[in-house]
Amino acid sequence: MTAPEPDPILGQLDLIGDEAALAAEDAALRRELDRITALRAEHTTRALDRVAAAAHAADAAGTELDRAVAEARGRGASWTDIGKAAGMARQSAWKRWHSPDEDQP
């Protein structure tokens, strides 16, 4: 009676006979990695496009807000009223939008 062969230790497996199968599996794994890498790049590009669009919208909104405040001041609105409309204190509104020649409220 012969003794059972011990389980192979990592690195001691005989894989020489399956070279074609290993090469095919390696190629399949590389294709899948390439596919995942391309998807990741596509998703990153989409996310960056959203960031650019949001930044543009924020800039446009900021410009529109500045114009609206200038119009309100030109029509006699107080800094208190502008601050309330903008969701900030009177002093904050004045600091953000006052003209250089305007005295502090």
Please indicate, yes or no, whether the overall pTM of this predicted structure exceeds 0.85: no
Sequence-separated (6 or more) residues with CB below 8 Å from residue 78 = 90
Range of the domain at 59: 35-97
Domain assignment of residue 70, yes or no: yes
DSSP assignments along 29-67, one per residue: HHHHHHHHHHHHHHHHHHHHHHHHHHHHHHHHHHHHHHH
Domain assignment of residue 24, yes or no: no
pLDDT higher for 6 or 27? 27
Domain assignment of residue 8, yes or no: no
According to the model, what pLDDT value does residue 46 have? 95
Domain assignment of residue 16, yes or no: no
Total domains present in the chain: 1
Domain assignment of residue 14, yes or no: no
User: Other C-beta atoms within 10 Å of 94: how many?
Assistant: 19
**Which of 46, 56, 105 shows the shortest CA–CA distance to 77?**
105
Does the structure show a pLDDT above 70 at 17? no
Domain assignment of residue 27, yes or no: no
- Reading the block at residue 47, the tokens are 């996310």
Domain assignment of residue 51, yes or no: yes
* Tens digit of each residue's pLDDT (9 = 90 or more) over 19-72: 888 888 889 999 999 999 999 999 999 999 999 999 999 999 999 999 999 999
